[in-house]
Amino acid sequence: MAVVLQDLYGLVSHKQMALIAGKKGMNRPVRWLHMVESVDIASFLEGDEIAFVTGIGLKQPGVKAVPELVRAIYDHGASAIVLNVGPYIPAIPESVQAFCDDVALPLFQVPWDVHMAELMHIFSTEITERERLERDMQQAFETAVMKPVPAEPYLSVFSKYGFRPELPYRLLVLCPGREAAKTQTDWLEKVRFSLDHRMKHGLFPGESCLWLLTTCCDTGTIQQRAEQWLSDGLAGMVGVSDCIDGLSSLSAAYEQASLALRLQRRKGNALLFYDELGAYTLLFNQKDPAVMERFCRRVLHKAEEYDRLHGSSLLEVLTMYLQMNGSVQKTADVLHIHRNTVNYKLHKLADLLDCDLSDFSVRFTLQLALMIKEIR
């Protein structure tokens, strides 16, 4: 969990550390700190660090080498630069300030009598504490959604970090989109910085997704944010749970969001709310999955076997036929096949299943079996 630069700056506002350029970059993440006294050392930066510079290692005296060093630090992905103004850097050139403003790279100056080591200690302590928070919260989240254990252990962790157990929450699952970062950590941070920080939320990495826990249960607000992620390419699909009554129901929210995502993948929806799933929610909450499995098998088994043995698509045609409210022509148009082919396959199905597809009760039974097939 990277710390936001603005948060770190708030810890040392009393230490005469002044922001003089790059104000637009104050929401940059910070992973660690590094002393950078030369262009060569700048190459050791790994990205998202604060570079501290006293000037003691500059090859040229005064301010002549500062622009080159600042540019090198920027090129290697630093989140910010702190320059120690004193005997080695008597002043910060205006050209450097202009450059940092142009690229939104926060530039701070610190007087010589302020110890850089003290600033670095404050920052490193905060970063380390945030990393501990991330580990604790991730473990609590995994325990809450995956393991059938009493709620008290993980609720105490959530409470410790500001999540009130009794509040309503919603859980969202995000699959990566075209603009998701190369690493999951970078992607997580991009999503984090897109959130409204006035609302309590937690982000947790999954195997190939991100989970967002939020106190916002307003469907309109969540839909607007999700559509923005989809538009920006930060997400390719978003599944949203129902609003749950407290963190003790987090496991249920996890299952709901997972179901929404699973149905999205089959139906091609980019955004799906659990409370929009209709009859699927009743099937999902069936306490005995074996009952549904037997029902589905009894209704569809012969057609499934026929498709498997002959490489045919009877169930695909049936599914679309039912979605098109029994219209042969619309089914043919959607599947890009001739209506005679649709009629042939429907007749074959009727023979296999020994049923009348014009009968509403038969269609309802088949539709129910197909829905169970989608979620099993």
Each residue's pLDDT tens digit, 290-337: 777 787 888 888 999 999 999 999 999 998 998 898 899 999 999 999
Query: Tell me, what's the pLDDT at 65?
Result: 87
Residue 183's SS3 state is: coil
Which residues in the chain belong to E strands, given as ranges?
A: 3-4, 18-21, 29-30, 32-35, 49-53, 80-85, 107-111, 168-176, 201-205, 210-214, 235-240, 244-245, 271-273
Residue 181, C-beta contacts closer than 8 angstroms, at least 6 positions apart: 187, 189, 190
Rama region for 80: left / alpha / beta (φ>0; ψ in -120 to 50; rest): beta
pTM of the model: 0.65
Each residue's pLDDT tens digit, 133-163: 888 989 889 888 876 566 777 888 888 888 8
What's the distance, Cα to Cα, between the start and end of the chain in Å?
35
Length reported for the chain: 376
Whole-number percent of the chain with pLDDT over 70: 93
Residue 188, C-beta contacts closer than 8 angstroms, at least 6 positions apart: 203, 205, 210
Please give the domain boundaries of the chain with CATH numbers for all domains.
Answer: 3-123 (3.40.1390.20), 163-275 (3.30.70.270), 289-375 (1.10.10.2840)
Q: What are phi and psi of 33, to 5 degrees?
A: -125, 160
CB count within 10 Å of CB 318 equals 24
Higher pLDDT, 360 or 103: 103
What average pLDDT score do residues 213-231 get? 90
Each residue's pLDDT tens digit, 325-369: 889 999 999 999 999 999 999 999 999 988 898 888 888 888 888
Angle at CA of residue 371, ends 369 and 373, nearest 5° = 70
Mean pLDDT (the chain, rounded)? 87
Query: Tell me, what's the pLDDT at 64?
Result: 79
Each residue's pLDDT tens digit, 270-287: 898 887 777 777 676 666
Answer for the pair 295, 367: CB distance below 8 angstroms, yes or no: no
How far is Cα 353 from Cα 64, in angstroms, rounded to an integer? 86
Query: Tell me, what's the pLDDT at 177?
Result: 86
Residue 230 pLDDT level (bands cut at 50, 70, 90): very high
Answer for the pair 200, 215: CB distance below 8 angstroms, yes or no: yes
How far is Cα 344 from Cα 347, in angstroms, rounded to an integer? 5
Residue in 257, 246, 254, 169 with CA at minimum distance from that of residue 213: 169
CB count within 10 Å of CB 284 equals 20
Which residue type, as a one-letter code, is found at position 209?
Answer: C
How far is Cα 145 from Cα 272, in angstroms, rounded to an integer? 20
Helix then strand count (H, E) for the chain reads 15, 13
CB count within 10 Å of CB 72 equals 19
